[in-house]
Structure 1
Amino acid sequence: MDAPIIKQFPELPRGCEVTSLAMLLQYKGIKTNKITLANNIKKNSVPLKKESGKIFWGDPNEGFVGDMYSYKNPGYGVYHKPIRELAEKYIPGQIIDLTGRDFVELQAYLSLGIPIWIITNTTYNELPDSAFVKWFTPNGEIKITYKEHSVLITGYDEKAIYFNDLIDGMKNKLISKGEFLAAWKQMGSQAVTYLPD
């Protein structure tokens, strides 16, 4: 697919999720950009606290955790629910959250020429347990990796997945399907897109 490529840097060092959403929405013909989306994504205001070797912080399922705009302050990211809610404001009633579904279902959308927003990691491969840390949110304990990343899937074939890489600015980058899907599943099989017209 010829989805627009938007780089997250330098403005949004931790803004991969809203940058991927900007590509999805622009492909649909919506006039928006990564900065507007960054300013409007729901933020999680729970402050970072470290006590007795434990980390207490916000839940990325509820809003963006930490600082998206600078590495000078601690920050993490945001998951599919706030992304879906933000996308809904632009295309009401047409956004579908495919989180937890099998990739076969995602392929149906890709086959129709509809790209898909997903969460992965910066290696696009399954990570070792040592790459994850636990922290405590008001909703309970979660396991996260600071290698968390988001991209826009633009296609697939039997052996590969194609995606727009907002770090290096490469359109329709090709990666081994097995590796890519392992990384995606490890991050909770998060996926958001829009319904066909």
Structure 2
Amino acid sequence: MTLYKRVISFFLAVLLTISMIFWSSGFILSDEKSMEVYQDIRESLPVKEDIDVPEPPLERNLDESMMIIETGELPDSWQLEVPIVYQEPELPTGCESIALTMLLMYEGFELGKTDIADEYLIYSETGDFADGYVGNPYSYEGAGCFPPSLARTAERFLEENDSELHAENISGKSLGELCYYVANGIPAAVWCTMYMSYDIWLYEDGFEQDGICYNWYENEHCTVLTGYDLENRTVTIHDPLEGIVVRDMDEFEYIYDAIGRFALVIL
């Protein structure tokens, strides 16, 4: 990453942390000048206007694939051809919708950048991030959602499009287990932090579903795991903010584990 982008990333992280502190206390930033600077910095990040829709992946034998995922040997490296979609500038806090869009486009669905956010995104009326999206993904003051919510959004899309695919919340799986999915042609939406920030502040008033506690945390971010390399200890991430990036596997796993191992796949 260039020095310029590192500076941008630093200021974005600082500004987002400040805004989330105000938001979590029940306040919204009112300093118009600060918001203008914040928006100017975010809009300086690259935006991909033309999105290529790939051919659908080869037909999978789901039972066979799941058996390999659970018991098979993991290849040394694997990379899936998943389209990259950027959330900026339309959806500054819509990383979950964009991550789901990438998963669905990989399966061959033709989607506009904001179709999920516009037509299918399920919202929470109670502030439960596991129940639905909290806030407005078109706003810099939006928040986000977690796998149970995004799975329901995905199911809404798949049902309306008469698809036999379904969304599965695989939260709790280790990063190593997620690599088995990738090796079998299944990319995974994974929750991490913006710009790999190690400042993870978990809130105690989380919501529990199916035995998993979903605590909101600062710098919440949703990306797509599309590849890995065991020899070099790296993972390839399709990041709605930064594009296609290669992360250190151990560093990414630390953050993934610290926030609760949240993940989702389309099967």
State whether TM-score is above 0.5. yes
Structure 2 counterpart of 1:163, one-letter code? I
Q: How do 1:1-197 and structure 2 match up within 5 A?
A: 1-39=80-118, 40-46=120-126, 58-71=127-140, 74-89=141-156, 90=158, 91-124=163-196, 126-128=198-200, 131-135=201-205, 143-158=215-230, 159-168=233-242, 170-171=243-244, 173-195=245-267
More helix, by proportion: 2
Report deviation, 1:70.
1.3
Cα shift at 1:103: 2.4
1:107-142 alpha-carbon deviations (Å, 9 max, x no partner)? 1110012211111111325435xx3445577x9x97
> Is the deviation greater in 75-84 or in 103-112?
103-112
Deviation at 1:4, TM superposition (A): 0.6
1:46-74 residue CA offsets vs partner (Å, 9 max, x unmatched): 4xxxxxxxxxxx11001111121112xx4
Which deviates further from its counterpart, 92-101 or 18-27?
92-101
Structure number with the higher strand fraction is: 1
CA 1:146/1:7 → structure 2, altered by over 3 Å: closer, same or farther? same
CA pair 81-142 structure 1, distance change in 2 beyond 3 A: closer
TM-score of the aligned structures, taking structure 1 as reference length = 0.80
Note if contact 1:126-1:179 (Cα within 8 Å) is conserved in structure 2.
Answer: no
Which secondary structure does the structure 2 equivalent of 1:161 belong to? strand
Distance 2:87 2:252 in 1: 20
Distance 1:136 1:81, change over 3 A: closer
CA distance in 2, matches of 1:118, 1:45: 24
| AA aligned opposite 1:108 | Y
Letter in 1 for 2:89: P
Aligned to 2:14: none
User: For the structure 1 residues 190 and 92, does the alpha-carbon distance in structure 2 shift closer, same or farther, using more than 3 Å as the test?
Assistant: farther
CA distance, structure 1, for counterparts of residue 167 and residue 217 of structure 2: 27
Q: Distance in 1 between matches of 2:122 and 2:164?
A: 17
Using the aligned pairs only, state the percent identity.
Answer: 28
Q: CA deviation at 1:85?
A: 1.3
What letter corresponds to residue 116 of structure 1 in structure 2? Answer: A
> In the comparison of the two structures, how many residue pairs are matched?
177
Kindly provide the amino acid, as one letter, of the partner of residue 262 in structure 2.
Answer: Q
Counterparts of 1:80 and 1:142, CA distance in 2: 9
| Alignment CA distance shift 1:177-1:136 (3 Å) | closer
Is 2:191–2:262's contact at 8 Å kept on the other side of the alignment? Answer: yes
- Highest Rg: 1 or 2? 2
Q: How big is the shift at 1:87?
A: 1.6
| 2:27 alignment counterpart | none
Instruction: For residue 145 of structure 1, report the CA deviation from its aligned partner.
Output: 2.2
